[in-house]
Chain A
Amino acid sequence: MTAPLKDITPAERARSTSFYEASARTRLDLLLDAGSFVEFIGPEQREVSPHLKIFDLPEQFDDGIVVGRGRLDGAPVFVAAQEGRFMGGAFGEVHGAKLTGLLRAARQVASIPVLILFDTGGVRLQEANAGELAIAEIMRAVMEARAAGVKIIGLIGGRSGCYGGGGLIAGCCSALAVSEPGRIAVSGPEVIETNRGVEEFDSRDRALVWRTMGGKHRRLLGAADVFVDDNVQDFREAALELLGLVGPFGLDSLKAEQERLADRLRRYGACFDAVDIWTAEGIAHAETVPELPADQFIALADRIGRTSRDAR
């Protein structure tokens, strides 16, 4: 960056900042209206994991998640951002409890939406039981908040992707925006390879990882409603767009989701690779999808890709 900061608008800064490369704090700083973010239990409180010292591992003063409130285009939002560079953004006891508390408040308030900036490998294995249970509590809290009318938007595009229980929480959100590096899955590539062998999944085959779990495939499947380029401003605009689109949650949403997922199994259950699914979706030269630039892919996805609107 050559120009002095004062000459750059916040939107320009957000547009030129990679979501993937940015820290959780930078993402929030640029995603929300300038200067609007207020953190709850910030790092100065030093609420660290009580468990990492058992493994002689370093702690972090925010336990790898930043939660608070801010404004988006003037309207209040609750926000949580995971830091994928600390323990892979994994859910531990303190980390998870911060998000649970935020969601419980959102349920009580009922009128303020929640943005969750996922960046996680799933359960933090050094405190696996506490992390797993934290995820179960977050899923419950998400659904209770949604039942109370709260819109919960997941933004996925970080280094650690959105794996394990993070993928299940994402599946509970009202809507998701994803960028190409925003992988969403339950079992990570290494875990599948360890358990099932390299013939089942070669975790070093990066192209395979991206097209099986990456943002483009999730958008085309309808798992994510919006695909964005990898910059913070696009995520901000996607969050605003989704907040305008999300409808009420109820039994009908779950019935529609049942039909949506059953339909996916009927259509694509026999496909061996993502390229087969994209071809079955009617995309010509589906093998070129991974190379498409974001704008061309978005045009394609808007024409062909499914959505999960009112069906999740």
Chain B
Amino acid sequence: MTLDDILTALFPDGHEVRNDKGVLLGTATLRSGDSMLVLGVADRTALGVDEAIRLSGHVLRSIGRDSGPILVLVDSDSQRMSKRDELLGLNEFLAHLAKVLIHADMNGRPTIGLLYGHSAAGALLATGLATRVLVGLPGADPAVMDLPSMAKVTKLSMEALEEKAKSTPVFAPGLSNLTQMGAVHLTWSHAAPLADQLEALLADMPAARDGRDALGKARGGRLKAAEIAERVRDLALQAR
């Protein structure tokens, strides 16, 4: 499905979402007649300082002016790997985008991420992983880190990494692995209208509380995270 197909299927009542060099900004109309703010990264575009500042600005302009949920569409590269982006403080721009999305979600503008293509590393942290519910579309291929970079840092051969990736969900790229970890809450189906699946999710949004560690435990992908976090929390509260 192309981005246009996805937008049309999600919003049969219409949308005004523009794709400007891979940066998606706009609004769409839900079946209820309410509007949904839409932003995102398309065409496997790298997320750099110039893209991030436009995305965060789009959300900030909407806060206080509009109401309704927010959709973050993701088909990105990783963060833009360049001297210029790092020189200008890319970490701040990506963190700012995530902070704005988290703030919106905590203050009456529930956020949904829709991973319909690729994403990786810092780009995924600043977009899909900063939403309350991250949805995958079949065929999406997120990868936390690409294998060439992994090979360089881990000093393992590409062959060794590819071999381990076949049997190891905890580091291997892919939608199903991230689902098992609790990062991706659910995967929609192309067999049913996307608009119906979006409406069903909006009607039954989980609480804003971050439950991804519990999800990862229930799915057998992250057996320790929830328990460790809970034990530290309890110890810290007792220590007062």
Q: Is chain B a partner of chain A in the same complex?
A: yes
Q: Which A residues have a C-beta under 8 Å from some C-beta of B?
A: 38, 40-41, 47, 50-51, 54-55, 67, 69, 76, 78, 93-94, 96-98, 100-102, 104-106, 108-109, 112, 121, 123, 125-137, 139-141, 143-144, 147, 164-165, 167-172, 184-187, 190-192, 194-196, 200-201, 212-213, 217-218, 221, 223, 251, 254-255, 257-258, 261-262, 264-265, 268-269, 271-274, 277, 312
- Docked Cα-Cα span, A177 to B233, in Å, equals 26
- Chain B interface extent, by class: 35 or more
- Docked Cα-Cα span, A171 to B64, in Å, equals 24
**Interface residue? B92 (CB, 8 A):** yes
Contact between B149 and A93, CB atoms less than 8 A apart: no
Closest chain A residue to B169, Cβ basis: A129
Tell me the minimal C-beta distance from A300 to chain B in angstroms: 19
Asked, given contacts A194-B149, A195-B148, A254-B60, whether A223 binds B232 with beta carbons under 8 Å apart, the answer is no
Q: Which DSSP category, helix, strand, loop or mixed, fits chain B's interface?
A: helix
Contact between A187 and B53, CB atoms less than 8 A apart: no
Interface centre among B82, B102, B178, B230 (most CB of A within 10 A): B102
Contact between B213 and A97, CB atoms less than 8 A apart: yes
Contact between B95 and A171, CB atoms less than 8 A apart: yes
**Interface residue? B153 (CB, 8 A):** yes
Contact between A100 and B239, CB atoms less than 8 A apart: no
Contact between A109 and B237, CB atoms less than 8 A apart: yes
- Chain B hits for A106, CB < 8 A: 236
- Chain A hits for B53, CB < 8 A: 258, 261-262, 265
Tell me the minimal C-beta distance from B15 to chain A in angstroms: 25
- Docked Cα-Cα span, A138 to B120, in Å, equals 18
- Chain A hits for B88, CB < 8 A: 221, 264-265, 268-269
Contact between B90 and A185, CB atoms less than 8 A apart: yes
Considering the complex of A and B, which 10 residue pairs feature the smallest CB-CB distances, nearest first? Answer: A171-B95, A101-B232, A167-B91, A105-B236, A101-B229, A136-B129, A97-B228, A128-B144, A40-B235, A97-B225
Q: A-B pairs with CB below 8 Å: how many?
A: 284
Tell me the minimal C-beta distance from A270 to chain B in angstroms: 9
- Chain A hits for B154, CB < 8 A: 55, 125-126
Contact between A201 and B236, CB atoms less than 8 A apart: no
Contact between B125 and A136, CB atoms less than 8 A apart: yes
Residue in contact with B125 in the complex, picked from A41, A67, A168, CB distance below 8 Å = A168
